Amino acid sequence: MTPEPFFFLAALLFSIALVGVVSRRNLFVIYMSIELMLTSTSLVLVIFSKVLGSADGSVMALLMIAVIAAEAALFLAMIIHLYRRNRTLDSEMCDELKQEANNA
Amino acid sequence: MLSLIVVLPFLSALFLGGLYLSRPQLQNSFIYTAVGIASPAISAILSFVVLLRMFADGNTVYETLFQWIDIGSFQIAVAFMADRLSVVMISFITLIGTLIHIYAAGYMRGDPCYGKFFSYFNLFMGSMLLLVLADNPVMMFVGWELVGLSSYLLIGFYHQDHANITAANKAFILNRVGDFGFIIAIALLFVSLEGSGFTFDAIAANISTLSTEQLTLIGLLLFVGAMGKSAQIPLYVWLPDAMAGPTPVSALIHAATMVTAGVYMVARYSFLYVEIPDVGLFIAYIGAASALFAALMATFESDIKKILAYSTMSQLGYMFIAVGLGAYSSGIFHVFTHAFFKALLFMGAGAVIIALHHEQNIFKMGALKKALPVVYVSMFIATLAISGIPPFAGFFSKDAILMAAFSSEHYDIWAVGLFTAFLTAFYMFRLLFSVFFAEGSKERTLQELPGSMTRPMLFLALGSATVGFLGLNEAFGGHSWFQHFLSLPDVVHEVSHSQEYMLAALSVAVALMGMGLSYRMFAHNPQAAKSDQWLKTLIIKKFYVDELYDVMLVKPLLLLSRLIATVIDPKIVDALIMGLSKSYLLMGRGFARLQTGRVGDYALQILIGVSLMSTYILFKLGMM
């Protein structure tokens, strides 16, 4: 069994996630897209581990799952905090650091 | 002692200036008068001490204050030198300067800027003494510039009136034109001497190492400086306008200081000018032209001070005839006698102006003979002296100059000089008759003249009548004592005594003719000249020289500056700078548009950036 379809799947997942990050405005969707990206990279690691017959990649993937879990906790906390502040989940509303158009 | 003579007026100028600035409410105080008069008086006493010593041993006195510039062979010391020429100059400068200071104390009484006036006045004296006593050309130039500065300050003394400022600027700028010649000449002299010392003595000793071409150029450029300071054609136009200052200022400028500086300078460089008689001849012709030109303008002028101003220019022309033809001591002799009677004339004019409540038109005066007897008598003596009537001072000096012109066989210069002598007598007596003889209005009240104004006049009248005898030449039974004392490198031409008598008689006759003519025309019913003929109009309008300068120099300059101000600066220089800054602004706006504040956009930018980088790396690794 060749690994190419799996690589293709990982690339596809990553691309979908990327489009999600770039095009969607809902913070939850963006968060989920980022999770998807991480997942796709984990997938690549696992595939390489299998292809090369070494456990290194799998160990790394396991570690990543732990990191992702921790990160999810942080992310959700931040989203809740932002929602409390802005009363919305629209990412367009978080623009305090934006350069004003005409004061240059 | 020499340095004290120079430094003292500067110190008192500083003191008075400081006092005036710190205590503006202290008006007309005794301290201004005391300090202001004391410093030139002490300088005068010291000068006479130096003069007496000079009589005793005849040695030149040197004194070095400190080393100023010390760069290789360029050694300039603040040093003073009193040789026979400069000691004579400082003697009469300080004497007449002191008298004018005393006179000014009366003239300026009650002026709110009394203290400022005396501060400037002392500065003027100090500058002139520095110029005369300088031991090297650089120090002389410093004095020369300071004289220019203080004359500017004094001419524009009543600076509330815009016309006075213009006059002061004119004097200053025209003097700058002359100074430019002077400073180039000094630089050339230094370069061509190749570092063999730069005091007057050293220059005189090494002058033979210079080629005639170098000497000619230097001589001409120096004379450009003299032209500016001594108001000769073509740089004279500031002199009549300089009458804007208070009358004592005019007296000081015209008699003892400033304008005589040019003549003094040529005499100081006489060791240079004897080598180049052609330049000397040029100087003499310029002098003759100025003498005649100024006398013509004076003939039709009706402002009392301007008449005197033109007469100064005319007499300076005589002096330049003398120094140009190599008769340096005669020129200095005329400077000396002229200082007496010209100071007196200006003092008299000032007294009349004060008495008549600032009236300056001679045709509105008249009949002051009885009212102002002291002024009348002293003015009469001064007028006789300037007209060259023996035995008054001007006769001997003017005669010596005309004699020099005649004996050196420059008959054209001599003829111009003689005709100018006629005109001088004519316009001076025109002034005298119009002011003192002619009928004047009866119902006027004359202002009382203080004794501080009339007493110096009497003293100067005595001087004007007698100082001529100092230079009495052999033909008249004297020994030309003054000229021998100066011991300048004169060019001497022998003339027989009978010729001298004839020339003297001729000039006296000419002067009497001028006097008689003006008695007929102005003694009873004087009339201002009307411009009914084109020639008269030409002279009354002062040969349109001011207008000519305006068209030739001022207008093009204004046009050029306007061109620069309206086209070159805003359209080219500013456009470049502003364009540059605007392009940065536009660029900034362009980049600012990338900062949208939308998270998605940033993510996209990161995506694009990362994609490009990875593509590049892949490409580099040869995988694509």
Does B588 reach chain A within 8 Å, measured CB to CB? yes
Chain B hits for A95, CB-CB cut-off 8 Å, are: 597-598
- Give CA–CA dist B162/B156, Å, rounded: 9
- Give CA–CA dist A4/A17, Å, rounded: 20
- What would the pLDDT profile of B342-393 be if each residue is shown by its tens digit? 999 999 998 888 888 888 888 887 778 878 888 888 889 999 999 888 888 8
**SS3 (DSSP) at B345:** helix
CA distance B68 to chain A (A): 57
Residue linked to tokens 């799996």? A6
Chain B hits for A23, CB-CB cut-off 8 Å, are: 600
- What would the pLDDT profile of B324-333 be if each residue is shown by its tens digit? 988 888 889 8
* Test mutation, A18, A94, A99, chain B, max B CBs within 10 A: A99
- Is the pLDDT at B442 greater than 70? The verdict is no
Residue type (1 letter), B511: A
Q: Which of B264, B331, B260 is nearest to B490 (CA)?
A: B331
- Give CA–CA dist B345/B286, Å, rounded: 25
A-B contacts at Cβ under 8 angstroms: 31
Q: Would you state the pLDDT for residue B12?
A: 92
- Give CA–CA dist B194/B188, Å, rounded: 10
How many residues are present in chain B? Answer: 624
Contact call for A92 and B598, based on CB within 8 A: yes
Residue linked to tokens 């002026």? B111
Report DSSP state, residue B67: E
| B304 class by beta-carbon count within 10 Å (0-12 exposed, 13-18 middle, 19+ buried) | buried
Contact call for A21 and B597, based on CB within 8 A: no
On whether the CB atoms of residues B12 and B129 are closer than 8 A, the answer is no
**SS3 (DSSP) at A97:** coil
Chain B hits for A24, CB-CB cut-off 8 Å, are: 600
> Average model confidence (pLDDT) for chain B?
86
- What would the pLDDT profile of B93-118 be if each residue is shown by its tens digit? 999 999 999 999 888 887 888 888 89
Q: Would you state the pLDDT for residue A71?
A: 92
- Give CA–CA dist B595/B16, Å, rounded: 69
- Give CA–CA dist B185/B596, Å, rounded: 71
- Give CA–CA dist B468/B334, Å, rounded: 9
Tokens of B507: 């000039």
Q: Would you state the pLDDT for residue B19?
A: 87
- Is the pLDDT at A103 greater than 60? The verdict is no
Q: Would you state the pLDDT for residue B55?
A: 85
- pLDDT confidence bin for A5, thresholds 50/70/90: very high
End-to-end CA distance of chain A: 59
By DSSP bridging, strand B61-71 and strand B74-82 are antiparallel
- pLDDT confidence bin for B256, thresholds 50/70/90: confident
- Give CA–CA dist B431/B441, Å, rounded: 17
Contact call for B599 and A98, based on CB within 8 A: no
Does B589 reach chain A within 8 Å, measured CB to CB? yes
Q: b/e string for B484-517 if b means 16 or more Cβ within 10 A? A: ebbebebbeeebeeeebeebbeebbebbeebbee
Contact call for B599 and A24, based on CB within 8 A: no
Chain B hits for A30, CB-CB cut-off 8 Å, are: 599
- What would the pLDDT profile of B547-561 be if each residue is shown by its tens digit? 888 888 888 989 999
Backbone angles phi, psi at B276, to 5 degrees: -130, 75
Report DSSP state, residue B433: I
Per cent of chain B over pLDDT 70 is: 98
- Give CA–CA dist B80/B139, Å, rounded: 9
Range scoring the smallest mean pLDDT among B1-15, B128-142, B477-491: B477-491
Does B595 reach chain A within 8 Å, measured CB to CB? yes
- Give CA–CA dist B267/B328, Å, rounded: 6
Per cent of chain B over pLDDT 90 is: 23
- What would the pLDDT profile of B215-235 be if each residue is shown by its tens digit? 999 999 999 999 888 888 888
Does B600 reach chain A within 8 Å, measured CB to CB? yes
**SS3 (DSSP) at B78:** strand
State the complex-level ipTM.
0.73
Q: Would you state the pLDDT for residue B319?
A: 92
Q: Which DSSP string do the residues of B240-261 spell out, in sequence order? A: HHGGGS-HHHHHIIIIISTHHH
Residue B285 has a CB neighbour count (10 Å cut-off) of 18
Question: Given A23, A92, A99, which is nearest B595 (Cβ)?
Answer: A99
- Give CA–CA dist B474/B492, Å, rounded: 14
Residue linked to tokens 């897209």? A33
| B294 class by beta-carbon count within 10 Å (0-12 exposed, 13-18 middle, 19+ buried) | buried
Tokens of B489: 């490198």
Q: Would you state the pLDDT for residue B28?
A: 62
Contact call for A94 and B607, based on CB within 8 A: no
Question: What CATH topology corresponds to A4-103?
Answer: Helix Hairpins (1.10.287)
Report DSSP state, residue B161: S
Chain B hits for A99, CB-CB cut-off 8 Å, are: 592, 595, 597
**SS3 (DSSP) at B502:** helix
- Give CA–CA dist B506/B508, Å, rounded: 5
- Is the pLDDT at A97 greater than 50? The verdict is yes
CA distance A54 to chain B (A): 25
Residue ranges of B 363-422 with Cβ closer than 8 A to chain A: none
CA distance B601 to chain A (A): 7
- Give CA–CA dist B178/B180, Å, rounded: 5
| B533 class by beta-carbon count within 10 Å (0-12 exposed, 13-18 middle, 19+ buried) | exposed
Q: 3-state SS of B268-291? A: HCHHHHCCCHHHHHHHHHHHHHHH
Question: Given B588, B595, B603, which is nearest A22 (Cβ)?
Answer: B603
> Region B65-75: what's the mean pLDDT?
83
- Give CA–CA dist B270/B268, Å, rounded: 5
Contact call for A91 and B599, based on CB within 8 A: yes
Q: Which of B433, B353, B356, B352 is nearest to B387 (CA)?
A: B433
| Cross-strand bridge partners of residue B237 | none
On whether the CB atoms of residues B41 and B100 are closer than 8 A, the answer is no
- Is residue B234 reached through a cis peptide bond, with omega within 30 degrees of 0 on the bond before it? yes
Residue linked to tokens 């004289």? B147
Report the predicted TM-score, pTM, of the whole model to 2 decimal places.
0.78
Q: Which DSSP string do the residues of B36-50 spell out, in sequence order? A: HHHHHHHHHHHHHHH
Closest CA in chain B for residue A103: B589
- Give CA–CA dist B391/B464, Å, rounded: 10
Contact call for B598 and A99, based on CB within 8 A: no
- What would the pLDDT profile of B475-515 be if each residue is shown by its tens digit? 776 777 788 888 778 777 777 788 888 888 888 898 888 88
- What would the pLDDT profile of B22-57 be if each residue is shown by its tens digit? 887 766 678 888 888 999 999 999 999 988 888 888
Which has the higher per-residue pLDDT, B283 or B481? Answer: B283
Range scoring the smallest mean pLDDT among B406-410, B510-514, B590-594, B618-622: B590-594
Chain B hits for A29, CB-CB cut-off 8 Å, are: none
- Give CA–CA dist B38/B520, Å, rounded: 46
On whether the CB atoms of residues B449 and B351 are closer than 8 A, the answer is yes
Angle at B365 (CA atoms; ends B364, B371), nearest 5 degrees: 155
Which has the higher per-residue pLDDT, B289 or B470? Answer: B289
Residue type (1 letter), B21: L
Contact call for A98 and B595, based on CB within 8 A: yes
> Region A23-36: what's the mean pLDDT?
89
- Is the pLDDT at B525 greater than 80? The verdict is no
Report DSSP state, residue B238: H
Closest CA in chain A for residue B605: A22
> Region B534-548: what's the mean pLDDT?
77
Alpha-carbon distance values, B378 to B244, B426, B582 (Å): 24, 18, 75
- Give CA–CA dist B360/B375, Å, rounded: 16
Q: Would you state the pLDDT for residue A104?
A: 41
Tokens of B576: 């470049």
Q: Would you state the pLDDT for residue A49?
A: 93
Q: Which residues are CB-contacts of A92 (< 8 A; sequence separation ≥ 6)?
A: A25, B598
On whether the CB atoms of residues B398 and B331 are closer than 8 A, the answer is no
Contact call for A30 and B588, based on CB within 8 A: no
Contact call for B595 and A94, based on CB within 8 A: no
Report DSSP state, residue B303: B
